[in-house]
Chain A
């Protein structure tokens, strides 16, 4: 079964031309989709639709076979399950960090999941280790560098163990070492059956990872 299905999706803002014009897309578990396009072509809009933050003016968005609509997301419990299943890394990770310590930032999601303290701690430390940011755990996220913030934001999403990961320009602001380790992490994630949706201008970096490409 497809995890994500977009059927004839249209989206337009109040002012201006439509940004999504009859988009069709289907993605299964373990697939990687690359979203390409110039600035302002609608990549972030598509990601907002995928995350249930905006709703298409026409067409249907199915997540695990369920239509994601404003009505569906009115139910608090369904919304929370949906957000647990799909993780979204913003293009500007500055606006994703709001806690006073990196540890608390990563623990924010797991603490709400009904896990025990030791399970939460296990998840947080695993994520910090995974992104090589253990040394930052007592630091204030706001004062970190751009690349470090990106890693903390990613760790805080992965602590929820989403099935689908939506990444908006994940390599922007990263040095080569972090780029390589992030690429390796994404390959492992794909191998584990997680679905990846990535907007990037660095198409060539994903040539071994990508299954589908759309250009907006």
Chain B
């Protein structure tokens, strides 16, 4: 038997609540999720093996980070630009977007130091340049290397299978956790019909459920992979 209040039509006027909190969170989460998607890189016919690319990438990042000579930094930058110019237009723009974002972000961070001591301008510009070169190189690597070749290369470097497994699953399936969070936020939004005085408690609940579900999904996936013959070995991939 239905309670009386459930059978009536309510003339409801929602109490005022500050800001479209969930809507904004949802929107930003969606944007982040899109960027977190691990896309399979396209390898050309003459593409270097993944293990060599990893060594070259790490070498470049270390070199650019430690070296102070402007000429060497410029040479590294030119090398990265030449590689970028050989990529398809869509990929160039994709890499450049991240590079520009990283450069601007870094510039904002170093601006207070430059304002306090203008003599640091040259060093600060060098730092921004270094960041942009490294980010561009990583972007190029990401777009020209297939993910399964990366995991295979890591196995060649004798990285333990369990570490590669955790890394692989984290990168590949972080988007699933993002989607789970998005659905939870949608559920919260649909039932947020008035003034929520415990917004942060709701967000905490969502984080908690996402964490629990994430670890459960990880375990289930590992068991499913074992049932299909996975032996913690990435060598054959």
Contacts and interface: CB of A to CB of B under 8 A. Distances in A.
Contacts of A113: 12, 14-15, 193-194
Contacts of B189: 83
Contacts of B186: 53, 95
Contact of A80 (B3, B194, B208, B213): B194
Interface residues of B, number: 38
A88 to B, nearest CB: 6
A130 B183 contact: no
Interface stretch (A5-13, A33-41, A158-166, A199-207): A158-166
Interface in A24-72: 51, 53
A46 to B, nearest CB: 16
A92 B183 contact: yes
Residue with the highest number of chain A CB atoms closer than 10 Å, among B8, B13, B206 = B13
B212 interface: yes
Contacts of B3: 123, 126, 130
A189 B7 CA distance: 7
B142 to A, nearest CB: 22
B193 A95 contact: no
A48 B205 CA distance: 23
B193 A109 contact: yes
Interface string B1-34: 1110111111011111101100000000000000
B192 interface: yes
A57 B189 CA distance: 23
Interface in B179-202: 180, 183-184, 186-196, 202
B192 A112 contact: yes
A112 B196 CA distance: 6
Contacts of A157: 191
B209 interface: yes
Nearest to B196: A112
A84 B11 CA distance: 10
Interface stretch (A15-23, A96-104, A172-180, A208-216): A96-104
Contacts of B7: 192-193
A188 B2 contact: yes
Interface in A95-132: 95-100, 108-109, 112-114, 122-123, 126, 130
A55 to B, nearest CB: 14
B159 to A, nearest CB: 34
12 contacts: A77-B14, A77-B16, A81-B14, A83-B190, A88-B190, A96-B187, A98-B206, A160-B191, A188-B1, A189-B6, A192-B6, A192-B7
Interface of B: 1-3, 5-10, 12-17, 19-20, 180, 183-184, 186-196, 202, 205-206, 208-209, 212-213
Going nearest first, the 8 A-B pairs with the smallest beta carbon separation are A112-B194, A95-B183, A80-B14, A98-B205, A126-B3, A192-B7, A84-B193, A96-B187
